[in-house]
Amino acid sequence: MELKDKLVSSYVAFENRVETDSEVHEIRSKALQNFEALGFPTKKLEAWKYTSLSSVLKQDYSLFPNKENNIQLADVKKYFIHDIDAYKLVFIDGKYSSFLSETTHDTFDVCLMSAALVKPKYKAVIENYFDKIATKDNLTSLNTAFASEGAYIHIPKNIEVEKPIQIINLTTGSEAATLLQPRNLIVVEQNAHVQIIERHQSLTSNPVLTNSVTEVFAAKDATVDIYKIQNDDESASLVDNSYIEQKSNSVVSVHTFSFGGNITRNNLNFYQRGEHIDSILKGITIIEGKQHVDHHTLVHHIGPNCESHQDYKGIFDERSTGVFNGKVVVEKEAQKTNAYQKNNNVLVSDKATINAKPQLEIFADDVKCSHGCTIGQLDDDALFYMQQRGIPKKEGKALLMYAFANTVLESVKIPEVKQRITKLIAKKLGVDIGFDL
C-alpha cells in the first residue's frame, strides 16, 4: 500500500487514541482532508524541484510504534548537551520519556503537547496559537492531522528562563521503519527570553522519517534563540517545518547545523508582524556520502523598519547534494526594511552538487535588500602558505573550512553548544582542532 493511503486509512485507528470531541480534532480532520487532496510533494512542485522524497516514501513505515523502549541514560548521554544544566523534553519513538526528561510548571510551562491538548488549563493558549501560522501545505497538513505529541513551551511575560531547554527525539528502531511526527508549540510572551536546543537522533540503522512541525510565537520584546543540531544516522531522514511569528521589537534567531542524516529538508518560515523586528537565520552544512540537505527559508517582511539576516555556509564532499532556496518577501507596507541574505558554498568533490535559488520579491521602494551567493573552492595559496609553515595539508584544509564556517559559529550564544559544534566539525573533517572557542 502506498504510504499516503496507509496514512489516510490509519486515521480511524488514530482517532481511537486521542480526544475527538475538541476543536483541535476538527483542525486535525480538516488537515487530513487537505493532505488527502495534496498528497506527498513531488519534484514537479517548484518548492521541491531539487529534493525528491520518493526513495524515502517507499519504506513501509510503522505509524504508531507500540513497544515501550527503555533506554539507559548512559547510552544516549552523548546526544545531550550534558555539561550544562538544562530542562529536557525527551521523546523515544514519539513517546514521552519521563525518566530522561526534566520538565517544569513553576513559573512557566515546559511540558507535553499531549497534555496541553486536553487539559483545560492550557485551553486558552492552544486556542490562540495551535495551528495558527503553520501553512496548509502537504507535509505540514500531514503533521497537523496526526498531531498529538511534542514539546509544549509557554513562557509568560518578563521571564528569562535561566537555563536552556533541550528537545530530543530518539528513535530506537524496534520497528522495521518508523515515521515520527512531533508537533511543538513554543509561545514566548512579552519581554520573555528562552533558549532552545533541538535534536533528532536515530539509534538504529533502520529507516526513520521524521516530519516535524514547530510553531514559535515571539511577542513584543521577546528574545528566542533556537539551535537545531542535525547529525543523525545515515538512514534517518528529516523534514523540519518551523513557523515563527514575531511581534514588534522581538529578536528570534535560528541556527541550523546539518552534519548528518539521509535527506534533510528544513522549511524555515519567518513572519514579521510588527516593527523593529530582527530575524536571524544561520546555518552550517557539512555533508558527504550521498547525503542531501535542503534549506528552504522564507522571511516575510510585513511591517516597517524590520531587519533580517541570513547566513548559510555549506561544505559538500563525495556525492552529497546541497540545496539552498532562500526567499525574502517585502510587502509594500514594509518600508525601511533591511534584508540580507548570504549563501556561500564549497564543493570538495567532483561528484557533489549544489543547487541554489536565492529569491527576492519586493513590493516596497524604500528598502535595502541584498543577497549574495557564491560557489567556489578553498584558496590554494592559503593552503600552500600553511603547508610551508609545517601545517599538514589535511589540517590546513580543515582549518580553512573551519574559518569558512566560523562566521556562523560566532553568533552562537551558548558556549557549550559552540564547543560541541566545533567538535562535531573537527570530527566531520577528520582532524583534531587543537583549540576551543
Q: By CB under 8 A, name the binding residues for another protein.
A: 46, 332, 335, 345, 347-377
Q: Select 231 or 325, whichever has its Cβ closest to another protein.
A: 325
Minimum CB–partner distance for residue 255 and another protein (Å): 24
216 DSSP β-pair partners = 186, 244
Q: Select 158 or 377, whichever has its Cβ closest to another protein.
A: 377
Minimum CB–partner distance for residue 186 and another protein (Å): 32
Q: Select 153 or 347, whichever has its Cβ closest to another protein.
A: 347
Q: Select 372 or 392, whichever has its Cβ closest to another protein.
A: 372
Q: Select 205 or 374, whichever has its Cβ closest to another protein.
A: 374
**Cβ-contact 255, 412 below 8 angstroms:** yes
C-alpha cell at 65: 510504534
Amino acid, res. 164: P
Helix H segments across 119-154? 123-129, 138-145
Q: Select 29 or 359, whichever has its Cβ closest to another protein.
A: 359
Secondary element (H or E) of residue 428: helix 415-428
Q: Select 366 or 381, whichever has its Cβ closest to another protein.
A: 366
Minimum CB–partner distance for residue 253 and another protein (Å): 24
> What SS3 class is residue 390?
coil
In terms of C-beta distances under 8 Å and separation of at least 24 residues, what long-range contacts does 418-423 make, across chains too?
420/81, 420/229, 421/229, 421/257, 421/284
Helix H segments across 39-150? 54-57, 73-76, 113-118, 123-129, 138-145
d(CA 125, CA 155): 11
Minimum CB–partner distance for residue 41 and another protein (Å): 17
Minimum CB–partner distance for residue 194 and another protein (Å): 34
d(CA 37, CA 45): 15
Q: Select 173 or 283, whichever has its Cβ closest to another protein.
A: 283
Minimum CB–partner distance for residue 52 and another protein (Å): 15
β 307-316/151-155 pair status: unpaired
Minimum CB–partner distance for residue 372 and another protein (Å): 4
The answer for residues whose C-beta is within 8 angstroms of residue 191's C-beta and 6 or more apart is: 157, 158, 220, 221, 222
Minimum CB–partner distance for residue 296 and another protein (Å): 14
- 59: which DSSP letter? S
Count of beta carbons in the 10 Å neighbourhood of residue 427: 13
Tally the C-alpha atoms within 13 A of residue 367's C-alpha that lie toward its C-beta.
Answer: 27
Q: Select 133 or 360, whichever has its Cβ closest to another protein.
A: 360
Minimum CB–partner distance for residue 294 and another protein (Å): 13
**Cβ-contact 388, 357 below 8 angstroms:** no
